[in-house]
């Protein structure tokens, strides 16, 4: 069982699905078994480009493939609930692209079903599994920077103006928080824990009715604070930093971090470098395989209860802005 090859199905054929398919080649004991799209032409083109064995012209056909062990959901987040439940009903393990869902109510329904059926389910927060981020957690757990008190994480880019584009379209769950914001919010949860005592936030709601940029301050017990920024129409730094009573950690481009730097008081800086060949999705793919081989139904690194708390936090933040999607 420890060497069992996990046969993957990919639901969706967008750009993120392509990145995932490429990185499957770098993950041990995996196979690109099948891809499903809403059109057979799209599925066949994707299968040929990325070396996927079988192509299906519907999601239903993909889920009927008895050889598929796990499905990666690569559709836009307003469709995640429907897609995840369909996968679970078909008895498939599920790795769902971030954000898990649009709101916590949707996620609670999926989690409840997965747990009832004893099926594996995980949010595809790939950043958590990168070697540099694993090293950061190790440094913190070992007390290298003492008690963590402050952290900061920014992620944003300037997108071209297109009101119909999914990230600016409220009918498609657009906005900075759910797309790029999930990364700094989840990073803060990983470092500081869930359930901050105070949540202060502000956002610029653009003319299409979604948040184009935001700033968040989270206050925790013992005076800990996280400052987070995200944007769709403003280029931001993509770095994160963590500050403790004995030093600090810097993570350049934390989203896809290839390095992390430890600064300990009175000592020379220590740099950890990740020399991977892949984009980095291979590590979350291997985590799913490890869990399935061990008979686990969720990952201890990205547990479902934490994903739920993160989604509840984002619900609260959107509530502060008065941002509700037409379909909610």
Residue 266, pLDDT score:
84
Structure tokens at 209: 């009715």
Give span(s): CATH 3.40.50.720, the chain: 6-127+281-297
Residue 292 pLDDT class (50, 70, 90 cuts) = very high
**pLDDT of residue 209 exceeding 80:** yes
Is the Cα dihedral 120, 87, 105, 197 positive or negative? Answer: positive
Residue 280, pLDDT score:
95
Ordered DSSP codes for 50-116: HT-SEEESSHHHHHT-TT--EEEE-S-GGGHHHHHHHHHHTT-EEEEESSS-SSHHHHHHHHHHHHH
Can you tell me the mean pLDDT for 11-39? 96
Can you tell me the mean pLDDT for 27-49? 97
Residue 2 pLDDT class (50, 70, 90 cuts) = low
pLDDT tens-place string over residues 241-287: 999 999 999 999 999 999 999 999 889 999 999 999 899 999 999 99
Contact 178, 102 (CB under 8 A): yes
Q: CATH number of the domain at 6-127+281-297, please?
A: 3.40.50.720
Yes or no: is domain 131-273+309-321 CATH 3.30.360.10?
yes
pLDDT tens-place string over residues 293-322: 999 999 999 999 999 999 999 999 999 999
Structure tokens at 176: 């900075």
Residue 260, pLDDT score:
98
Can you tell me the mean pLDDT for 20-36? 97
pLDDT tens-place string over residues 160-200: 899 989 999 999 999 999 999 999 999 999 999 999 999 99
pTM for the whole structure: 0.96
Contact 311, 107 (CB under 8 A): yes
Q: Which residues contact 74 (CB under 8 A, 6 or more apart)?
A: 10, 11, 12, 13, 14, 16, 17, 20, 97
Q: Which residues are catalytic?
A: 98
**Bridge partners, residue 93, by sequence:** 70
Residue 286, pLDDT score:
97
pLDDT tens-place string over residues 118-142: 999 999 999 999 999 999 999 999 9
What span, in angstroms and rounded, lies between the C-alpha atoms of 192 and 326?
Answer: 33
- Per cent of the chain over pLDDT 90 is 95
Give span(s): CATH 3.30.360.10, the chain: 131-273+309-321
Contact 12, 73 (CB under 8 A): yes
């Amino acid at each position: 069982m420890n060497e069992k090859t996990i046969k993957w199905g990919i639901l969706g054929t967008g750009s993120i699905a392509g990145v995932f398919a490429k990185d499957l080649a770098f993950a041990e004991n995996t196979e690109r078994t099948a891809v499903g799209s809403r059109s057979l032409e799209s599925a066949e083109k994707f299968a040929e480009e990325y070396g996927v064995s079988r192509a299906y012209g519907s999601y239903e056909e993909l889920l009927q493939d008895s050889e598929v062990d796990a499905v990666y959901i690569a559709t836009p987040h307003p469709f995640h609930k429907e897609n995840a439940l369909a996968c679970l009903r078909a008895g498939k393990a599920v790795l769902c692209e971030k954000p898990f869902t649009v709101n916590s109510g949707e996620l609670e329904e999926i989690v409840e079903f997965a747990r009832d059926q004893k099926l594996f389910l995980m949010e595809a927060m790939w950043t958590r599994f990168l070697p540099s981020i694993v090293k950061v957690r190790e440094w913190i757990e070992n007390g290298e920077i003492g008690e963590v008190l402050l952290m900061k994480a920014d992620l944003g880019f300037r997108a071209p103006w297109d009101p119909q584009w999914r990230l600016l379209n409220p009918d498609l769950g657009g906005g900075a928080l759910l797309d790029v914001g999930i990364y700094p919010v989840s990073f803060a949860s990983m470092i500081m824990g869930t359930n901050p005592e105070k949540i202060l936030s502000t956002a610029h709601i653009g003319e299409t009715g979604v948040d184009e940029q935001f700033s968040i301050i989270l206050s925790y017990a013992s005076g800990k604070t996280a400052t987070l920024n995200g944007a769709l129409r403003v280029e931001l730094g993509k770095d994160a930093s963590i500050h403790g009573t004995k030093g600090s950690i810097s993570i350049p481009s934390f989203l896809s971090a290839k390095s992390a730097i430890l600064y300990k008081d009175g000592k020379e800086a220590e740099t950890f470098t990740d020399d991977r060949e892949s984009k980095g999705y291979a590590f979350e793919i291997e985590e799913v395989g490890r869990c399935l081989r061990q008979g686990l139904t969720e990952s201890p690194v990205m547990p479902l209860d934490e994903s739920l708390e993160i989604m509840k936090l984002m619900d609260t933040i959107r509530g502060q802005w008065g941002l509700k999607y037409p379909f909610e």
